[in-house]
Amino acid sequence: MPWTGARDRGRAAIGAAIAAVCIFAVLLARAEFSVWVLLAGLVAVALAWLWPSASSREDRREGKPPATPPLLPSASVFPDPVILVDRRLVVTGANEAARAILPGLKERQPLAFALRSPEILDAIPAVAASGEPARVEVPGRSGHEQTWEVRIRRLASGGATTLGEPAVALFFRDLTDHRRLETMRVDFIANVSHELRTPLASLSGFIDTLKGPARDDPKARERFLDIMQVQAQRMTRLIDDLLQLSRVELKEHVPPTSLVDLGQTVAHMVEVMAPLARERGVELALDLPAEPILILGDRDELLRLVENLVENAIKYGGPGKAVEIVVGRSSAAGSEGERVELSVRDHGPGIPPEHLPRLTERFYRVDVAESRTQGGTGLGLAIVKHIVGRHRGRLAIESTPGQGATFRALFPPAP
Ligand SMILES: Nc1ncnc2c1ncn2[C@@H]1O[C@H](COP(=O)(O)OP(=O)(O)O)[C@@H](O)[C@H]1O
Ligand SMILES: [Mg+2]
């Protein structure tokens, strides 16, 4: 730590000063006297140099550990903000990150000039006095639900420092992302429970009815069993989508490595979706280039992606309308370079612009009742987003209300 180095420097300075005075005296004084002065000077210098080794011998005899080397050569190596203050809360050091969050921070000025958090300012003297570390959470200055955790620790020599020497360190950590993830996790569990509870409540209700009032009514029994089947299918879809989502999320940081012909994959899924389209009176128009369009992909995931986009276009585009599916290469994106593009366009009511940014969130729907009647789970576009992400691609959604919606997935072409 800097203060151990200061003691050594002090001794060297005293020794040098005595030596200088002696040499000066030798030059000025008479010859016989100068011998004595020279001798006295040598003794003084020797004493000045011996003094520290004597004191460290003492330390050893008393069982004190030797002075530890500096642990933190410079707080600037820390990515998170660190501030050092003396026991009167005057700033003695801070790293770049601390200056970035507290622009008013100045050395040798009270911390309170730059930081107005009573929780932190009250905790420091307590930590300096007791040596007991403290942890406080404070809102960030920008407000946007930002939270900082501040850990306050007394430095090794905290009790015995003089003013101007660092006595207490403040370590800051941004908890905002952590908190956001925590909220997402809690919301997710609440949403899943709610989505499962609704069909489950309906199933239990019908079971009670079938055991009681409808026991001997064959017509009612048929009808109730049909409803129960629909509810059970809804639960199955939800579980399937949840599993699919967690599988894609788990693999998201491992990009796929097989070569997949996107055109052929899309053509296959469009064929699978043809019966649903016919049932809804929707015409599926597929436009594919003659040559294969290769990307590095996971075929199963790409099939799920196409399935979700085409199914949405069929269900939300409305009956009697066309859905256009195009696969091709696009270079219009400029800085992105050439991309392989899949676009799915419908001519339905479209999506109001305020919903567009949240559409890929789990369980987010523009119209919950409409999604439920269509057998939706609210997870389709979240799955699509993660699949596109794993393929290092991008999802773009464009819609003008009243004129339909276009979902575009852009992928890097295979090298
Ligand atoms: N082509 C579309 N046209 C209009 N709205 C759409 C379209 N695709 C998706 N949406 C809206 O986005 C919501 C989320 O879609 P999705 O994640 O697939 O869930 P789900 O279809 O199960 O409700 C839908 O509920 C719907 O409100
Ligand atoms: Mg959907």
- Cα of 191 vs centre of ligand 2, distance in Å, is 16
Which residues of the chain are modeled with pLDDT < 50? 1-8, 52-62, 65-72
Residue 317, pLDDT score:
94
Which residues make up the environment of ion ligand 2, defined by Cβ < 5 Å? 312, 376, 380
Q: Report pLDDT digits (tens) over 264-285.
A: 999 999 999 999 999 999 999 9
Residue 49, pLDDT score:
57
The residue contributing the CA closest to ligand 1 atom 6 is 316
* 405 bridge partner residues: 399
Residue 59, pLDDT score:
45
Q: How far is CA 411 from the centre of its chain?
A: 24
How many angstroms separate the CA atoms of 42 and 19, rounded?
Answer: 7
- Cα of 308 vs centre of ligand 1, distance in Å, is 9
- Cα of 36 vs centre of ligand 1, distance in Å, is 101
Residue 152, pLDDT score:
97
The residue contributing the CA closest to ligand 1 atom 25 is 365
Residue 387, pLDDT score:
98
Residue 407, pLDDT score:
98
User: How do 134-139 and 339-346 pair as beta strands?
Assistant: unpaired
Residue to probe by mutation, ligand 1, list 191, 365, 368, most atoms within 8 Å of CB: 365
CB 245 within 8 A of CB 387: no
Please tell me whether residue 259 adopts helix, strand or coil conformation: strand
How many angstroms separate the CA atoms of 13 and 17, rounded?
Answer: 6
User: How do 283-287 and 322-330 pair as beta strands?
Assistant: parallel
Q: Report pLDDT digits (tens) over 316-355.
A: 998 999 999 999 998 765 677 889 999 999 999 999 999 9
Ligand nearest to C-alpha 367: 1
- Cα of 178 vs centre of ligand 2, distance in Å, is 29
Give per-residue burial for 58-85: e unless 16+ CB within 10 Å, then b.
eeeeeeeeeeeeeebeebeeeeebbbbb
**Mean predicted lDDT score pLDDT of the chain:** 86
Q: Which residues contact 331 (CB under 8 A, 6 or more apart)?
A: 337, 338, 339
User: How do 322-330 and 339-346 pair as beta strands?
Assistant: antiparallel
For 181, counting Cβ atoms within 10 Å of its Cβ (0-12 exposed, 13-18 middle, 19+ buried), the class is exposed
Least Cα distance to 169 among 135, 141, 146 occurs for: 135
* Ligand 1 lining (C-beta closer than 6 Å): 308, 312-313, 316-317, 346, 348, 351, 359, 365-367, 371, 376-381, 405
- Cα of 300 vs centre of ligand 2, distance in Å, is 17
Residue to probe by mutation, ligand 1, list 343, 371, 387, 403, most atoms within 8 Å of CB: 371
How many angstroms separate the CA atoms of 50 and 53, rounded?
Answer: 6
The residue contributing the CA closest to ligand 1 atom 22 is 376
Least Cα distance to 305 among 341, 338, 257 occurs for: 341
- Which ligand 1 atom is at minimum distance from the Cα of 376? 22
| Distances 401 to 184, 316, 322, 324, 407 between C-alpha atoms, Å | 29, 12, 17, 18, 14
**DSSP symbol at 335:** G
Residue 68, pLDDT score:
42
- 223: Cα within 13 Å, side-chain hemisphere: 7
CB 310 within 8 A of CB 272: no
* 388 bridge partner residues: none
**Residue 248 corresponds to which amino acid?**
V
Q: Report pLDDT digits (tens) over 152-205.
A: 999 876 556 777 788 899 999 999 999 999 999 999 999 999 999 999 999 999
Residue 33, pLDDT score:
64
Structure tokens at 270: 């469009």
- Cα of 163 vs centre of ligand 1, distance in Å, is 64
